[in-house]
Structure 1
Amino acid sequence: MPLIVWDHSYSVGSPQLDADHQRFLDILGRVYDLWRQGQPDTVALNALFDELQSFTDEHFTREETALAAREYPVDLLLAHHEMHHDLKRRVVEFRTRHLSGQGPDRLTDEMIRFLKHWLLDHIMNEDMKYRPFFTQQRHA
């Protein structure tokens, strides 16, 4: 069972970015499934870290490029970029702690709680700010 079920209220008005956000929720759900097993499998967790880091870079580049193309205000785009940078830094931090052998159960639990909060808060409060730039473009 997924940790977070995608809901239409999470839509930012861009099918591609919505699909990306759904993939983030899927990755988070797979981390959660590993954690629920009791002792997260190190190889599987490493693979999820790889996927999360790679996809984070890919998605943030795609999102920021799309926002710039829609003439999203520069100050908001820069602030958005900083939030993305902070998340990427935290993911690297979690991975470094994981590779150093810090308790996988506690670390995985902490990471799940952080990512769940960050993703939902970011989508609902930050990404929704750019929704009109996608929905108005479609109706124009």
Structure 2
Amino acid sequence: MPIEWRDKLSVGEPTIDADHKMLIKMINDFEAQANIDFTRQLLSDTLKSLLEYGKAHFAREEMLQVRMGYLYHDSHRQEHRRLIRDIEAFARTYMTDASLELTPAVKMHILHFLRDWLINHIIDQDLKMKPFVMRQR
């Protein structure tokens, strides 16, 4: 089931919200394609795109935090580094072991990981920025 953007996920900063919407779209697109043809190439392309876009998004978010004097910038930056390491480790697991079958259960595991990777970060970490963003307006 695709992730749906809801206003309650908004941090109030249009650029960051647009990034979050794009990350959601990337995960939803992966799910839709994986339901048709779940391949290593699709998985590889998706993880690579998520890593690249995620790194760029995290850089934008961290610049915003510095600019607005976000009190938890250092711990948030460390959380970003952990998220990148997590997805890199996940990619290594699924992309280096050719004997690992891409079964429906594996597909569901990957989708849960990606959804949790993004949505839990937005809810648990990014939404804490909202009061700081609103004060800047």
The one-letter code of the counterpart of 2:23 is: F
Counterpart amino acid of residue 78 in structure 2: E
Give % identity: 26
Give the drift of 1:81: 1.3
Match of 1:55 in 2: 53
Please tell me whether the aligned partners of residues 40 and 95 of structure 2 are also in contact (alpha carbons under 8 angstroms). Answer: no
Shift of residue 51 of structure 1? 0.8
TM-score by length of 1: 0.86
Determine the structure 2 residue equivalent to 1:96: 92
Matches within 5 A, 1:57-76: 57-73=55-71, 76=72
Shift of 1:41: 2.4
- Tell me the equivalent position of 1:81: 77
Partner of 2:8: 9
The answer to whether the 8 A contact 2:62-2:73 is kept is yes
Partners of 1:78 and 1:34 in 2: CA distance: 37
With normalisation by structure 2, the TM-score equals: 0.87
Give me the whole-angstrom Cα distance separating, in 2, the residues matched to 1:117 and 1:98. Answer: 17
Q: Could you say which residue in structure 2 is the equivalent of 1:19?
A: 18
* Change in 2 beyond 3 A, CA 1:9/1:46: same
CA offset digits 1:80-107 (Å, max 9, x no partner)? 1121111111111121122222333344
1-structure distance, mates of 2:123, 2:110: 20
SS of equivalent residue, structure 1 residue 87: helix
Aligned equivalent of 1:124: 123
Q: Give aligned pairs, total.
A: 134
1:135 paired with 2:131, answer no
Which structure 1 residue ranges, 5 or more long, are not aligned? none
Kept in 2, the 8 Å contact 1:27–1:48? The answer is yes
User: What RMSD over aligned residues (CA atoms) do the two structures have, in Å?
Assistant: 1.7
2:91 maps to a residue whose letter is: R
Contact kept, 8 Å, 1:10 with 1:123, in 2: the verdict is: yes
Q: Tell me the distance in 1 between the aligned counterparts of 2:62 and 2:110.
A: 24
